Amino acid sequence: MTTIVVAMGKNNEIGFENQLLWHLPKDLKHFKELTSGHPIIMGRKTYESIGKPLPNRTNIVISSKKDWFQEGILIVGNIKEALKFSKKIDEDIFIIGGGTIYEQTLDFTDRLEVTIIDVEKEADTFFPKVDLKIWKKIEETCHEPDEKNNLPFCFQTYERIKPLEKI
């Protein structure tokens, strides 16, 4: 199964100047629990924003740059290659952003793990609109702010209703 993991604000905003828009340790823990042990696919800019390979996961980074190398990650030239490599490693694959990668993979994804944060932030990167004719929300758990997490948010799981497109 291919799953997109994303955290977004009320206007589908996900990033600004190659950084995240909030710091929510509960969301980071949720992300770690979902993705640990599995391949994760990301764009070169998201990788650079994280700054290092995420442990206990095969980090697959998409870039068109021919002369860009980093230790501890697998660099591939396009989405198709990223999916091909990750499917050889595991049947559960996680696509972790950013905006350009979400846009190109949404049609080939089975499931969405969305953290929806009850905030509006200035942003330059957005998640595509979740079309409810294609996606059905099957689970939601909401959290109030606490001493470490300063914003209210909900974890939502969406499953595809419309059949998957083939890549």
Residues that bind ligand NAP (CB under 6 A): 6-8, 14-15, 18-20, 42-46, 49, 62-65, 77-79, 96-101, 104, 125
Query: Which residue, 39 or 43, has its beta carbon nearer to ligand NAP?
Result: 43
Q: In whole angstroms, how close is the CB of 103 to ligand NAP at the nearest point?
A: 8
Query: Which residue, 63 or 86, has its beta carbon nearer to ligand NAP?
Result: 63
Q: In whole angstroms, how close is the CB of 167 to ligand NAP at the nearest point?
A: 12
Query: Which residue, 17 or 91, has its beta carbon nearer to ligand NAP?
Result: 17
Query: Which residue, 92 or 123, has its beta carbon nearer to ligand NAP?
Result: 123
CA distance 100 to 64: 13
Matching residue, tokens 């997490």: 149
Q: Which residue spans within the chain are E strands per DSSP?
A: 2-8, 13-15, 40-43, 59-62, 74-76, 93-95, 111-117, 125-126, 135-143, 153-160
**Residue 83, Cα to own-chain centre: how many angstroms?**
14
User: Rounded to whole angstroms, what are the CA distances from 166 to 49, 57, 67, 99?
Assistant: 30, 25, 30, 21
Q: In whole angstroms, how close is the CB of 62 to ligand NAP at the nearest point?
A: 5
